[in-house]
């Protein structure tokens, strides 16, 4: 509350919370560059991954999530260079997943995550949200598109999120700083969920019902909620959309158990199949899905693997 600001677009700009002095972070550039060269060698024999990675970085820059900086600018203040390996997930709609590794140690043996505060959870627990979800006759669900990337890190701390990149090994090496909350930093989940909560509190007078839903019925970036009537559910959809847009967040992947509720939602933002309601979507575990057509929960199980 003391450090967060909102810019002229309503977008929230936060600070990474630290346990102590960031001077504990010593030199990380050389080791990060060696790891980057290793990543390049890995990508050179995986053409599909490399092309997807190039596209990912291009999109990241076009969307304003990263910005190229000069070596002089990078060295002008304390900098922390982030490693960013990638994996391909065949079971995901976004097959390439870039992993920003902020647990990598600097020369002093301390990483960015070591020096960051991991604050308490601010959202309701998963069981409470799902239980409350079943009390509504009419259901609406959605998620925030690229939630972390819609929240800026204040400029004074952006040099703590620096990466190397170039499309081809023959190109000059470029240096970029990440301008938004970065997935992989210890404080990212707290900063993102606390920002969503604060936005709801800020806009409570304009959206009294939707504000309560944002505070109580969001699980990370997913809203799982509903209303007593179709009319109320339609109003809730509009208000949730308008409230989140005031913070530059876009709600997508809308689903409902009654198609009339989402009749005015663009088709690209509507999901007709089953909705995954996982506590952790980063790993394959027995999970929970909601079938909007039948309005029932379904369980899915991964195959057993031989250890």
- Using 50, 70 and 90 to split pLDDT, how confident is the model at 284? very low
Number of domains in the chain: 2
Q: Does residue 91 surpass a pLDDT of 70? A: no
Q: Is residue 85 part of a domain?
A: yes
Q: Which of 52-61, 108-117, 238-247 has the lowest average pLDDT?
A: 108-117
C-alpha to C-alpha distance for 28 and 79, rounded to whole angstroms: 8
100 shares its domain with 229: no
C-alpha to C-alpha distance for 276 and 103, rounded to whole angstroms: 29
Task: Give the per-residue pLDDT at 280.
Answer: 47
What DSSP string describes the chain? --S-EE-TTS-EEE---BSS-GGG----HHHHHHHHHHHHHHHHT-HHHHHHHHHHHHHHHHTTSEEEE-HHHHTTS---BPB--EEE-TTSSS-EEE--BTT---TTS--TTTTB--PPP-SPPHHHHHHHHTT-SEEEEEEETTTGGGSEEPGGGGGGSEEEE-SSTTSPPEEEEE-B--BTBTTHHHHHHHHHHHHHHHTTTT-HHHHHHHHHSEETTEEEEEESSHHHHHHHHHHHHHHHHTTT--EEEEEESSGGGGTTS-GGGB--S-EE--S-TTS--SEEEEETTTTEEEEE-PPP---
Let me know the angle formed at the C-alpha of 236 by 231 and 237, rounded to the nearest 5 degrees: 100
Query: Does residue 290 or residue 77 have the better pLDDT?
Result: 290
DSSP-derived pairing of the beta strands 251-256 and 86-88: unpaired
Q: Which of 24-33, 227-236, 239-248 has the lowest average pLDDT?
A: 24-33
What tens digit of pLDDT does each residue of 179-209 get? 999 988 999 999 999 999 999 999 999 999 9
What tens digit of pLDDT does each residue of 137-194 get? 999 999 999 999 999 999 999 999 999 999 999 999 999 999 999 988 999 999 999 9
166 shares its domain with 242: no
Helices 47-62 and 29-44: angle between axes, nearest 10 degrees = 130
Average pLDDT, the chain: 87
Task: Give the per-residue pLDDT at 97.
Answer: 83
Task: Give the per-residue pLDDT at 71.
Answer: 81
Q: Which of 148-157, 220-229, 278-287 has the lowest average pLDDT?
A: 278-287
- Mean pLDDT over residues 271-282, rounded? 62
73 shares its domain with 168: yes
Task: Give the per-residue pLDDT at 277.
Answer: 65
218 shares its domain with 169: no
Strand 296-300's sheet: what is its strand order?
275-276, 287-291, 296-300
- Using 50, 70 and 90 to split pLDDT, how confident is the model at 286? very low
Task: Give the per-residue pLDDT at 88.
Answer: 76
30 shares its domain with 103: yes
Query: Does residue 94 or residue 169 have the better pLDDT?
Result: 169
- Using 50, 70 and 90 to split pLDDT, how confident is the model at 307? very low
C-alpha to C-alpha distance for 92 and 52, rounded to whole angstroms: 14
Q: Is residue 286 part of a domain?
A: no
Range of the domain at 164: 5-117+151-178
105 shares its domain with 227: no
111 shares its domain with 130: no
- Using 50, 70 and 90 to split pLDDT, how confident is the model at 90? low
- Mean pLDDT over residues 48-55, rounded? 92
What tens digit of pLDDT does each residue of 21-37 get? 776 677 889 999 999 99
Q: Is residue 289 part of a domain?
A: no
209 shares its domain with 260: yes
Q: Is residue 54 part of a domain?
A: yes
137 shares its domain with 90: no
């Amino acid at each position: 509350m003391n450090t967060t600001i909102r810019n002229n677009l309503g977008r929230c700009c936060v600070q990474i919370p630290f346990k102590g002095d960031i001077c504990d972070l010593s030199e990380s550039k050389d080791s990060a560059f060696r790891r980057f060269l290793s990543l390049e060698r890995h990508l050179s024999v995986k053409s599909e991954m490399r092309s997807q990675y190039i596209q990912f970085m291009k999109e990241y820059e076009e969307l304003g999530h990263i910005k190229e900086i000069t070596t002089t600018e990078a060295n002008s203040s304390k900098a922390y260079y982030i490693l960013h390996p990638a994996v391909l997930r065949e079971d995901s709609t976004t097959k390439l997943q870039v992993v920003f590794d902020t647990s990598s140690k600097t020369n002093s043996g301390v990483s960015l995550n070591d020096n960051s505060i991991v604050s308490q959870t601010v959202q309701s627990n998963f069981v409470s949200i799902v239980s409350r979800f079943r009390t509504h006759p009419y259901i609406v669900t959605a998620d925030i598109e690229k939630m972390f990337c819609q929240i800026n890190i204040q400029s004074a701390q952006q040099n703590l999120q620096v990466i190397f990149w170039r499309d081809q090994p023959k190109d000059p090496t470029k240096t970029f700083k990440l301008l938004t909350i970065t997935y992989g930093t210890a404080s990212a989940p707290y900063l993102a969920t606390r920002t969503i909560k604060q936005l709801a509190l800020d806009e409570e007078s304009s959206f009294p019902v939707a504000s309560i839903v944002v505070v109580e019925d969001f699980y990370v970036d997913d809203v799982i909620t509903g209303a007593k009537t179709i009319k109320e559910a339609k109003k809730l959809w509009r208000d949730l959309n308008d409230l989140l847009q005031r913070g530059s967040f876009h709600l997508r992947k809308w689903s409902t158990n009654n198609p009339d509720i989402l009749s005015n939602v663009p088709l690209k933002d509507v999901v007709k199949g089953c909705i995954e309601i996982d506590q952790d979507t980063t790993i394959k575990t027995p999970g929970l899905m909601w079938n909007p057509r039948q309005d029932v929960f379904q369980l899915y199980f991964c195959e057993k693997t031989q250890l």
